[in-house]
Structure 1
Amino acid sequence: MKQLVLKNDYMGKNPIIRIEFPYDFELKEMVKQFPGCNWDTKKKVWWVSYADERITEMIGFFEGKVSLDYRALKKVEIPKIPPGLPHLTASQGIEIGKFEDWMRNKRYSKSTVKTYKDAVRIFLRFLSNKAIEEIENEDLEKFNKEYILAKGYSSSYQNQVVNGIKLFFQNRRGIKFNPEIVYRPKREKLLPNVLSKEEVSKILNAPTNLKHRLMLMFLYACGLRRGELLALKFQHIQRERGLLLVKQAKGKKDRVVTLPAPLILELEKYYKAYKPKEYIFEGQKGGSYSEKSLAEVLKNAVKKAGIKKTVTPHWLRHSYATHLLERGTDLRYIQELLGHKSSKTTEIYTHVSQKSIQQITSPLEDLDL
């Protein structure tokens, strides 16, 4: 199979991902089709703007077509606010502070508050601190074209930014900007990334550290989001019933998931060894374990398992749902276990289930060859 080699580089001050390969016409045409891909005439290389989610997008796009070698690719810390833009005025800073307080009072999640606040900050700075009362819908169109699309950001990021800006202006009065006529871009219909059972087994068996192994087991065995895992406390464990209570998950909803016996046994060993005080998984200085450290734990386990994929914690949740479906679990139960509001969200796993796909017979088999 043909191969693309991904490396770090910079286009001016902006981090990019170089896409290197020996000249091949078909391969070149395929690379050109990847969203946000550009050709640098000076460096003679294809490239995309750097973003953590770009690796996952590239894996999904090129899967089954070419192999990706990203061993030389290093994580880049991107500044929260791009350099080269003017600082916010004092009055704008106050308005954004009020917006942040309003979101917190409405009980928006921490990640949503941060994302929306950062979106508004970048938008206002991009407009050279134009008075909020003078901002029009055309300004958002310009920002979308000259900032989001020009830098090759994903439609998912674009949606988050538009949502944050719309919400900010919905709290304003006497302005030209009309958030009601702003339309969100169409979401990319990407299939969830799913690991095979063999791959999951290798990842779970890779860590020698008991805590690290147990965290990864919880993600897969209970289909947890990373935030749900890190918020777990021992009072959420219902050992006698073999259940785990997931408190105040996405959408501020509680739900109950099954707690398999092997996980309970590992949990007992872990408690005797670590004796955590509040959270099941605590950091070195107390409090809950950090998302960054969890990501590093998984990254090391994947590397040790010899798996050449950019696996994230959410891959284990996707794999849990898909493997349940392949075992014959009713889709309605999977929806409840995952905490999905709509059954349409859960139905996406039918597109990646081997059981569903393997039952299809190709019309080729009906031909007399």
Structure 2
Amino acid sequence: MDRKYVTLKNLLIAQEKCIGLKFFADKVVQALVNDLPEVKWSEEFNMNYILNTPANLELVFSTFRGVAWINCNHFYSRSNFGKELEPVDIRALQKREPVAGRKFCPGSYLQKLELKRYAASTVKTYVSCFETFMNYYSNREVKDLNENDIRLYLQKMIREEASHSYINQAINAIKFYYEVVLEMPNRFYAVERPRAEEKLPEVLAKEEVLCIIENTNNIKHRCVVSLLYSAGLRRGEVLNLKIGDIDSKRMVIRVRSGKGNKDRYTILSEKLLGDLRKYFLEWRPKEHLFEGPKGDKYSAESIVKIVKEASRKAGIRKRVTPHMLRHSFATHLLESGTDLRYIQVLLGHKSTKTTEIYTHVATNIFFKIKNPLD
């Protein structure tokens, strides 16, 4: 006997939350569905549905118990929303002056971003993307938009040659409203994302990195650039470092609340430790390892400028970014024979698949191959 399945879906019909019931044609299942209270058929979604209430949801499970398997993968949330660092103050967004002919994010959207403790950069991106989406459909209520409307909007962005990353950010911002704010998990599960771009990371030669470090303006800038490279840190992780995170006894650096809100340890360079001690005696930071003129946390823009200026003075023609130094750290470790799993731990990658990208840019394997021209 074939196993029967009923897949639950989150639907919004006539401004009411509903439970969609999707299943392959089966007389037994259809008969049980027909017995549910006030069950209806949706031509738009091509499935039966009932109102989404706790009683109806319990009734669905009890009705099909022992008869059909209830698939809830598209009904309950499995998202990683809310795993960000540094919550943002949304009051500035709430107090914006109205602009004629332009819609702003609903207050519930901003409130949920704050409650989920989203980082300032994420809030800025989500609000911008979602408001652009809302204003594209300026003559319609956002609650009334469906999967096809979203697809048409994404199709417009593709035709305008929007970047892969921007389209993904737009999808995340839109899904956040329908799935988190309106509490309808995986409602737009079927909305297609653009095929991932397989771009290789840009990497510097070790000699280029050392030249950049030598061309920094002062000991503070030297330590910033050295940390990005020698510990494989992200820009935000350098900014969040506190004095106590440098463990000279164990020669490790504690990275608190890295990407995905995960702590990890990475290696501390002996050469860098000497520079950090000189820096500390000269600059006397109070809490964070790197602080601004008024004792506040150093800015992300400052790190970008430090790397850019040092690269220019070093005569590096390519555009060097802080993240390029992290890529170089991983690649150079791999080229020196470090096990990929260790590199994964140092970088804080959840999966080795993410780390494996560096096997495509490491050049040590090429040295073993004799060029046919030679």
Q: State the TM-score, normalizing by the size of structure 2.
A: 0.69
CA distance in 1, matches of 2:202, 2:183: 46
Q: Following TM superposition, by how much is the alpha carbon of 1:187 offset from its aligned partner in structure 2, in angstroms?
A: 1.2
Q: Secondary structure at the match of 2:265?
A: strand
Kindly indicate whether residue 363 of structure 2 is the aligned counterpart of residue 348 of structure 1: no
- Which stretch of the first structure deviates more once superposed, 226-235 or 136-145? 136-145
Q: Following TM superposition, by how much is the alpha carbon of 1:173 offset from its aligned partner in structure 2, in angstroms?
A: 5.0
Kindly indicate whether residue 154 of structure 2 is the aligned counterpart of residue 144 of structure 1: yes
Q: Secondary structure at the match of 2:286?
A: coil
Kindly indicate whether residue 304 of structure 2 is the aligned counterpart of residue 302 of structure 1: no
Q: Following TM superposition, by how much is the alpha carbon of 1:150 offset from its aligned partner in structure 2, in angstroms?
A: 4.1
Query: What per-residue deviation string (whole Å, max 9, x for no partner) do you get for residues 319-338 of structure 1?
Result: 00000011111101000000
Q: Which amino acid aligns with 2:131?
A: R
**Cα 1:174–1:190 shift into 2, 3 Å:** closer
- Of 141, 151, 155 in structure 1, the residue corresponding to residue 164 of structure 2 is 155
Identity %: 43
CA distance in 2, matches of 1:248, 1:115: 20
Which residue of structure 1 aligns with residue 128 of structure 2?
Answer: 118
Which residue of structure 1 aligns with residue 189 of structure 2?
Answer: 180
CA distance in 2, matches of 1:336, 1:264: 21
Which residue of structure 2 aligns with residue 316 of structure 1?
Answer: 325
Query: What per-residue deviation string (whole Å, max 9, x for no partner) do you get for residues 247-266 of structure 1?
Result: 01011111111111111100
CA distance in 2, matches of 1:351, 1:112: 30
Q: Is the 8 A contact 1:335 1:346 kept in 2?
A: yes
Q: Following TM superposition, by how much is the alpha carbon of 1:361 offset from its aligned partner in structure 2, in angstroms?
A: 4.2
Q: Which amino acid aligns with 1:124?
A: M
- Of 139, 144, 155 in structure 2, the residue corresponding to residue 134 of structure 1 is 144
**Cα 1:301–1:172 shift into 2, 3 Å:** closer
Q: Following TM superposition, by how much is the alpha carbon of 1:343 offset from its aligned partner in structure 2, in angstroms?
A: 0.3
Number of aligned residues: 275
Q: Following TM superposition, by how much is the alpha carbon of 1:278 offset from its aligned partner in structure 2, in angstroms?
A: 1.2
Alignment of structure 1 residues 193-232 onto 2, 5 Å: 193-232=202-241
Q: Following TM superposition, by how much is the alpha carbon of 1:143 offset from its aligned partner in structure 2, in angstroms?
A: 2.0
Q: Secondary structure at the match of 2:266?
A: strand
Which residue of structure 2 aligns with residue 25 of structure 1?
Answer: none
**Cα 1:211–1:166 shift into 2, 3 Å:** same
Name structure 2 gaps, 5 residues minimum. 1-98
- Which stretch of the first structure deviates more once superposed, 236-245 or 219-228? 236-245
Q: Which amino acid aligns with 2:101?
A: P
Kindly indicate whether residue 101 of structure 2 is the aligned counterpart of residue 86 of structure 1: yes
Q: Is the 8 A contact 2:108 2:181 kept in 1?
A: no
* Rg comparison, structure with higher value: 2
Q: State the TM-score, normalizing by the size of structure 1.
A: 0.70
Q: Which amino acid aligns with 2:145?
A: I
**Cα 1:187–1:85 shift into 2, 3 Å:** farther
Q: Is the 8 A contact 1:85 1:126 kept in 2?
A: no
Q: Following TM superposition, by how much is the alpha carbon of 1:149 offset from its aligned partner in structure 2, in angstroms?
A: 2.6
Query: What per-residue deviation string (whole Å, max 9, x for no partner) do you get for residues 83-124 of structure 1?
Result: x99311xxx53x2x3223323333433322322222111110
Q: Secondary structure at the match of 2:138?
A: coil
- Which stretch of the first structure deviates more once superposed, 135-144 or 122-131? 135-144
Q: Is the 8 A contact 1:156 1:188 kept in 2?
A: no
Name structure 1 gaps, 5 residues minimum. 1-83
**Cα 1:344–1:174 shift into 2, 3 Å:** closer
CA distance in 1, matches of 2:259, 2:118: 10
Which residue of structure 2 aligns with residue 239 of structure 1?
Answer: 248
Kindly indicate whether residue 343 of structure 2 is the aligned counterpart of residue 334 of structure 1: yes
CA distance in 1, matches of 2:230, 2:147: 47
Q: Following TM superposition, by how much is the alpha carbon of 1:182 offset from its aligned partner in structure 2, in angstroms?
A: 0.8
Q: Is the 8 A contact 2:229 2:326 kept in 1?
A: yes
Q: Secondary structure at the match of 2:259?
A: coil
Supply the RMSD in Å over aligned alpha carbons. 2.2
Q: Secondary structure at the match of 2:113?
A: helix
Q: Secondary structure at the match of 2:241?
A: coil
CA distance in 1, matches of 2:146, 2:191: 11
CA distance in 2, matches of 1:230, 1:250: 13
CA distance in 2, matches of 1:174, 1:237: 42
CA distance in 2, matches of 1:172, 1:213: 44
CA distance in 2, matches of 1:213, 1:150: 44
Q: Following TM superposition, by how much is the alpha carbon of 1:129 offset from its aligned partner in structure 2, in angstroms?
A: 5.1
Q: Is the 8 A contact 2:151 2:191 kept in 1?
A: no
